[in-house]
Structures are given as structure tokens and as C-alpha cells.
């Protein structure tokens, strides 16, 4: 791969990682809104917290560890790739 192609790939990874962070941030804001409105007894708050825990434990951490341990990538690139994979998975979800 040429340097120009590597730069384009890195730009796409960073862009996808930022979008994934925006999605996670929006989920956090919705959970916070429902928590403030209804308290911890709200089913939406519990479901939101459980969903985020599952996403983190079963998706982001394994992808990150695979990138670091198996692919021998730097922590920065591995983080971008994990978030990018989450963002790509969210594109496949049909709401």
C-alpha cells in the first residue's frame, strides 16, 4: 500500500470511529434522560445500561484485544478499528 492509500484508510477509520462515538454518546444521553425523568426503576434505563454493557464486553473489547494481540497494531489504531467495526455493525441494523 502506498502512503496515500494508508492515509485514506486511516482517515476513514478515524471518521468511522468518531461516528461510533457519536452513536454511543447518543445512547448515553437517552439513558441519562430517561434516568432523570423516571429514575432507575425505568425499564428503558435498565435495558440501555445492559445493552451498553453487552456492546462493550462482547463487541468492543474482543475486537480491540484481537487487533492488539493478534494483529500487533498500536493501541490507537486498534481503538479506531474497534470503534469502526461497531459503527459498521450499526449500519447493518435496520431500525
Indicate the SS3 state at residue 91.
Answer: helix
Report if residue 8 sits inside a domain: yes
CA distance 71 to 58: 19
Residue 95 belongs to a domain: no
Residues 21-54: tens digit of each pLDDT: 888 888 889 888 988 888 877 888 888 888 888 8
Neighbours of 18 (CB within 10 A): 14
| Overall number of domains in the chain | 1
More confident residue, 95 or 41: 41
19 within a domain of the structure (yes/no): yes
**Residue 43 belongs to a domain:** yes
**Percentage of residues of the chain with pLDDT beyond 70:** 92
Q: Region 80-93: what's the mean pLDDT?
A: 78
Look up the domain containing 72 and give its range: 3-89
Amino acid at each position: 500500500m502506498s502512503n496515500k492509500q494508508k492515509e485514506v484508510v486511516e482517515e476513514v477509520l478515524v471518521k468511522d470511529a468518531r461516528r461510533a462515538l457519536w452513536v454511543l454518546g447518543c445512547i448515553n444521553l437517552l439513558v441519562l434522560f430517561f434516568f432523570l425523568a423516571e429514575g432507575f426503576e425505568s425499564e428503558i434505563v435498565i435495558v440501555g445500561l445492559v445493552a451498553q454493557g453487552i456492546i462493550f464486553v462482547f463487541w468492543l473489547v474482543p475486537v480491540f484485544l484481537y487487533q492488539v494481540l493478534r494483529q500487533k497494531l498500536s493501541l490507537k489504531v486498534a481503538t479506531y478499528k474497534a470503534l469502526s467495526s461497531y459503527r459498521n455493525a450499526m449500519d447493518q441494523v435496520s431500525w
